[in-house]
Amino acid sequence: MQQVSPHITKEDIPLLQKMSHTLGFLCADMVQKANSGHPGAPMGLADIASVLSFHLHLAPHNPTWLNRDRLVFSGGHASALVYALLHLWGFDVSKADLQSFRKIHSKTPGHPEYGHTQGVEITTGPLGQGIANAVGMAMASKYAQNLFGKEIISHYVYCLCGDGDLQEGISYEAASLAGHHQLSNLIVIYDSNTITIEGNTNISMSEDIAKRFESQGFEVFSCDGHSFLEIDNAISCAKSSPKPSIIIAKTKIAKNALSLEGSHKAHGAPLGEEIIFQAKAKLGLEPSAFHIPEDVAFAFGVMKERGELSVVQWQKQYENLPQITKERLDKMIAKDVSHIVYPQFEVGESMATRVSNGKILNAISQAMEGFIGGSADLAPSNNTHLENEGDFPQGKNWHFGIREHAMGAITNGVANYGLFLPFCATFFVFSDYMSPSVRVASLMKARVYYIWTHDSIGVGEDGATHQPIEQLSHFRAMPNLLVFRPADANENVACWQVGLDSKMPCAFVLSRQNLPVLESYTPQLKEQVQKGGYVILSQDNPHITLMASGSEVSLALKAAQSLEQVGIKTQVVSVPCFDLLLEQDKSYKASLCKGKVLAIEASRGLEWHIFADDVIGMSGFGASGKGDALFEHFGFSVAHIVEVAQELVKADS
């Protein structure tokens, strides 16, 4: 490894040692008081974290400053270290908060949660997600740098990860994309302590991590994770590399914890008061819990003053920008959606909702410079290409490759970066690969927009492997996620208007097959979609209500015509967003459910029983054949709907 100008010298080592010991045992005290948590990783990383404090540019007084370094803890179980550092650096995390670790309503939950604790950049829990989040932040930073220049965007993205993160496949997907794009602003620090819950990693892992990352285009550095000078040199080298970097830091889990040092037993359980007492005594530390010496507090607290200076210097760079550039940047930060000119569609047109959605995406893109995204190698099928916008890193079209798992987590990082509204896309059946990251986005209320096309058995000949059945019910059950399944092109417009206003993650579940445009767009349509469901056809004193979403709405309207011919009055309700419908008051929901209620959806549809007396849905996995033939085969036909409706009405008479 080359030698570069150091941030620390041999003279700094005694103070760093004291900082590290204080930090490590502050974490051990937190876990001990909570009688729950993970002391091992924080104690093993304390030396690295202490050195990193001299490299990071953060602004505790202005925690959302655009040009701050981003620090991601992919191993969310190291949360005690996160909170201890935030406290020592001067963020809004008090010593009382540290003492409330893992307690309900505290600022210091078991795993870091974005928006809950000041200074936490991303919600981390499932291992490997954080690495992909960091790649997303690094991609967002590179793109922003191309837009506004290195004077405005010059920060780094650091990611601390462990053996578990690198065992998860998502880390390989994300690293592959980072290496491909040569994201030189990304620095991964690998806490290589060779310990997981079940014991030494050699029971399940033997690959050469250095060669793995070299093959993916990373520059690899190695260091003793307990040598302050080696750590400092490795970080400095990584910052000057033209490639993304990984620092393989050999560490000992639960460093300084006497008999528990290096043991998997220290991973997820308190050390015990006796071991903590004896270990502190051996190191000459104050035995009382949560003690922070004045010189240590001052050394860590320099972060705040350094951050204030960095913000002032950056503000001068911002003021020197051309006025038009400042206005562009301010608009991207504000994410104003009020100036979008949406396409309108004529009644009687026939168009798949994936096609109308492509037109809507381009309309949003034209109005919003920060609206960016792409597909997992399916843009022509998903209809997600942004016309005349170029490709990343210069343009707005981001090609994720066949990496759905990483794509979802990368867009979370992009959303939390602060400048962009990202979308990502794949076939709906492959949303299974994205579920962990969608769940994290929902926890954070991150503004990510999922385009999931080929929404039902209407996929046709590709067969059961490509026909989503249970996915719609799954994602509707997820809190803080709005799932839209529009019936036609104009309802699709209204769904996007509602979704962009909602300021939370949204999914658009779209048809492959053409659907008729059922009604003209009006402002009232947006108001109706805001309620999740609305009456699209009503007859006086209906005997039965047909409720449906997506392609089945037009089918329900046809069935209503046939039911009228046999003397059954029918109301048809379109439900583009089941989640929003559930939020409405009882009287509104009752107004949609006149007479008997029959739900129709080419999916599993178990949730419809909240409203419906019966459901025409899927009980199996579909089959291979023409979409129209499959709809007929599985009972999604006018004749079958009429038959079931007649039985319901007859039973009620």
The answer to whether 375 is annotated as binding is no
- Taking residue 402's Cβ as centre, other Cβ atoms within 10 Å add up to 12
Q: Which two tokens stand for residue 592?
A: 């949609």
**Would you state the structure tokens that stand for residue 605, as one six-digit string?**
């549809």
As beta bridge partners, residue 41 has none
Q: What is the DSSP letter of 382?
A: H
Beta bridge partners of 375: 425
Question: Which residue type, as a one-letter code, is found at position 230?
Answer: E
Residues near 8 by beta carbon (within 8 Å), at least 6 away in sequence: 16, 51, 54, 228, 229, 232
Cα distance between residue 643 and residue 640, in whole Å: 5
Q: Residue 354, annotated ligand binder? A: yes
574 Cβ contact partners less than 8 Å away, ≥ 6 residues apart: 487, 491, 533, 534, 536, 548, 549, 553
Question: Residue 512 annotated as binding?
Answer: yes
Pairing state of beta strands 350-351 and 515-516?
antiparallel
Is 126 annotated as a binding-site member? yes
Partners of 534 in beta bridges: 574
Q: Which of 499, 414, 435, 436 is nearest to 144 (CA)?
A: 414
381 labelled ligand-binding: yes
Instruction: Report whether 193 belongs to an annotated binding site.
Output: yes
Strand partners, 98: none
Residue 370: C-alpha distances to residues 181, 332, 409, 415, 555 (Å) = 20, 5, 18, 10, 38
Q: Is 640 assigned a ligand-binding role in the annotation?
A: no
User: What tokens appear for 167 in the block?
Assistant: 């065992």
Contact 592, 552 (CB under 8 A): no
Quick one: tokens of 203? 């029971």
Q: Is 125 annotated as a binding residue?
A: yes
What sections of 418-461 are H helices per DSSP? 435-444
Return d(Cα 247, Cα 551) in angstroms, integer: 51
Active-site positions read 404
Measured CA distances, 454 to 439, 462, 632 (Å) = 21, 11, 18
Q: How many CB atoms lie within 10 A of CB 549?
A: 33
- Taking a C-beta distance cutoff of 8 angstroms, is the pair 644, 613 a contact? no
Residue 38 among known ligand-binding residues: yes
Contact 560, 586 (CB under 8 A): no
- Residues near 625 by beta carbon (within 8 Å), at least 6 away in sequence: 460, 461, 633
Q: Which two tokens stand for residue 35?
A: 């009688």
Does 462 appear as a known binding residue? yes
The answer to whether the CB of 453 falls within 8 A of the CB of 425 is yes
Q: Return the amino acid letter for 257.
A: A
Specify the pairing of strand 614-616 against strand 596-600. parallel
The reply, when asked if residue 454 is annotated as ligand binding, is yes
Q: Which two tokens stand for residue 249?
A: 């830091």
Show the 3-state SS of 385-416: CCCCCCECCCCCECCCCCCHHHHHHHHHHHHH
* Residue of 461, 453, 463 whose CA lies nearest to 486: 453
Annotated binding-site residue? 466: yes
Give binding residues as ranges: 38, 77, 125-127, 163-164, 193, 195, 267, 354, 381, 430, 454, 462, 466, 512
Annotated binding site for Mg(2+): 163, 193, 195
Binding-site residue positions for substrate: 38, 267, 354, 381, 454, 462, 466, 512
Sequence ranges of the binding site for thiamine diphosphate: 77, 125-127, 164, 193, 267, 430
